Structure 1
Amino acid sequence: MTLSVVQRISCEVIDNEAPKARIFNIQRYSLNDGQGIRTVVFFKGCPHYCPWCANPESISGKIETVRRLSKCLQCAPCQNDVDECPSGAMEQIGRDVSLSELEKEVLKDDVFFRASGGGVTLSGGEVLMQAEFATRFLKRMKSLGLRTAIETAGDASPDKFLAVAQQCDEVLFDLKIMNAEKAKNVLNLHQPRVLYNFRMLVENGIKVIPRVPLIPGYTLNQSNMQAIIDFLVPLKLNEIHLLPFHQYGEPKYQLLGKPWRMACVTPPNEADISPLRQMAEQAGYHVTIGG
């Protein structure tokens, strides 16, 4: 009898176990993070300070503890302990997983991957901050015949980035503020390195899908979009994803006790997005809104 992928994994010993990764969520059945049905692993830690970040719990690389007031019983005294909390109001954000532990978690969804042509996507935070683990994990997934992808801002050592990207069927690569000085001051992003890395992946034959977050006051303007198109045209890619700003992350800021600097910003509507979509389409790109 042929063993399933999960059964085979449980029978194998994984040699040279890599250091553990720190993650904060595993999202199953995603349709927006690569081809087919995806399981998305969110890595903790990010070097950037995007004001619009929808995952503020991803920014710190530390394991954090929060209290959900809606569940809190106002125990006195509060132990501030996740394991001791009787109502589950105390919640830990972040945990460390080994290579084998994460493989077993992801491969629970193997049947959905194979039925839909989907696979696993590593996101964050910034997955490139844990590049060694990511490279080994993705290599293992590919050896089992699964499709692999990462979501990244691309601001990392080229050597480390290329090692990760070579284990991917596609790289979902965010292009944000194109002005280098503004990108550094607002986002702590080294834009020249980002653009170098983008070109490097394309030149190495890796499938790269550019994604543009459309953020009022930052990237939702024709000059930034034109700069992105001017950069992309020589690379001869055929698709681009536009990601409109939303307010879904606001409750997370409240939970973490952090200010939400985009609270008064209205998400863009079709009239706001349409000119940028038309610019990309006129340049020859297939445009996906979201993705």
Structure 2
Amino acid sequence: MTSFAAPRISCEIIEPRSEDVARIFNIQRYSLNDGQGIRTVVFFKGCPHSCPWCANPESLSPRIETVRRESKCLHCTPCLRDADECPSGAFERIGRDISLDDLEREVMKDDIFFRTSGGGVTLSGGEVLMQAPFAVRFLQRLRRWDVHCAIETAGDAPASRLLSLAKECDEVLFDLKIMDVRLAREIINMNLPRVLANLRLLVEQGINVIPRLPLIPGFTMNVDNTQYALVLLSSLGIKQIHLLPFHQYGEPKYNLLGLPWSMKDVAVPSSQEVDTVRKMAECAGFKVTVGG
């Protein structure tokens, strides 16, 4: 297990300012990796965890942040680090507040793609459970349009909060990471017993849960961690999983935010290594999708 001193981030749920306003940092269209069909993914800002492999470090803080792109900066003084005043666009604001009405209008621009591909909308992050009251109301609106709805979550929140949101979904993409209680707490600041209890609850409630296993060398990509997850999921009657191999795509974002990228020297899993995990899961009776 790779040594990593995770920053201490509170695992308390951050209450949104209003159930009619959410803080997001991106809306990604034409996604094929976050649920069935062509999807529009809404990324909510703020996350209680500290996964060193996170590919979206801009999602971690719930605050709106300003970053500077050196290649665009004129090194002038008029903007005073104000993204609205920057003449070259070097200063960029990450995160914005958006209302229920505006977000509904934004995602429904893609309705034709949802209906022709069997796709829909996925709420991701960060961690969408940190803004669950807004998310519940938003999905209720989408369901009136008969849009296929999904969330991606690590499930580390009070059960009532997770269940209220999951009941509005056609599927829940449920991330399972480090399966050792102590290491999950120390490395990624996760309450694993609560996560596993919530997973069981969703299954008992008949929610369509699709577990996702990130394959992270030195953290999750080992026989013991994988076997623990597979045995647990098999005991719950779950028969399909997604495998998410580690990649280095997030490194430029860390540089932009001025954050250290501790995974710089970690090798991306080879196709043979990923195939080994895939075969392990298939031998255990799972239908496996690589890449989600």
Per-residue CA distance 1:155-201 (angstroms, 9 max, x = gap)? 01100100000000000000000000100000000001101111111
State the secondary structure of the residue aligned to 1:150: strand
Matches within 5 A, 1:42-57: 42-57=43-58
Matches within 5 A, 1:43-122: 43-76=44-77, 78-122=79-123
Distance in 1 (CA, whole Å) between partners of 2:193 and 2:168 is: 24
Q: Cα offset for 1:27?
A: 0.3
Q: Cα offset for 1:72?
A: 1.1
Q: Which runs of 5+ in 2 are unaligned?
A: 1-17
Distance in 2 (CA, whole Å) between partners of 1:148 and 1:274 is: 30
Q: Cα offset for 1:19?
A: 3.2
Distance in 2 (CA, whole Å) between partners of 1:131 and 1:18 is: 9
Distance in 1 (CA, whole Å) between partners of 2:257 and 2:104 is: 29
TM-score for both structures, normalised by structure 2: 0.92
Q: Cα offset for 1:38?
A: 0.3
Q: Cα offset for 1:78?
A: 4.8
Distance in 1 (CA, whole Å) between partners of 2:92 and 2:119 is: 31
- 2:153 corresponds to which residue? 152
**Identical-residue share of aligned pairs (%):** 65
State yes or no: 1:287 paired with 2:280: no
State yes or no: 1:26 paired with 2:16: no
Which runs of at least 4 in structure 1 moved beyond 6 Å after TM superposition? none
Question: What letter corresponds to residue 199 of structure 1 in structure 2?
Answer: R
State the secondary structure of the residue aligned to 1:281: helix
Q: Is the 8 A contact 2:79 2:87 kept in 1?
A: no
Question: What letter corresponds to residue 111 of structure 1 in structure 2?
Answer: I
- 1:262 corresponds to which residue? 263
State yes or no: 1:223 paired with 2:259: no
Distance in 2 (CA, whole Å) between partners of 1:115 and 1:72 is: 43
Question: What letter corresponds to residue 212 of structure 1 in structure 2?
Answer: L
TM-score for both structures, normalised by structure 1: 0.93
Per-residue CA distance 1:13-58 (angstroms, 9 max, x = gap)? xxxx833100000000101100111000000000000000000000
Distance in 2 (CA, whole Å) between partners of 1:139 and 1:172 is: 18
Distance in 1 (CA, whole Å) between partners of 2:150 and 2:71 is: 36
Distance in 1 (CA, whole Å) between partners of 2:69 and 2:271 is: 35
**Which sits farther off after the overlay, 42-51 or 197-206?**
197-206
State the secondary structure of the residue aligned to 2:67: strand
State the secondary structure of the residue aligned to 2:242: strand
Q: Is the 8 A contact 2:239 2:286 kept in 1?
A: yes
Per-residue CA distance 1:84-120 (angstroms, 9 max, x = gap)? 1111111000000111111010111111111111110
Distance in 2 (CA, whole Å) between partners of 1:77 and 1:261 is: 35
Distance in 1 (CA, whole Å) between partners of 2:147 and 2:184 is: 35
C-alpha RMSD of the superposition: 1.0
Q: Cα offset for 1:278?
A: 1.4
Matches within 5 A, 1:190-269: 190-269=191-270
Distance in 2 (CA, whole Å) between partners of 1:76 and 1:98 is: 33
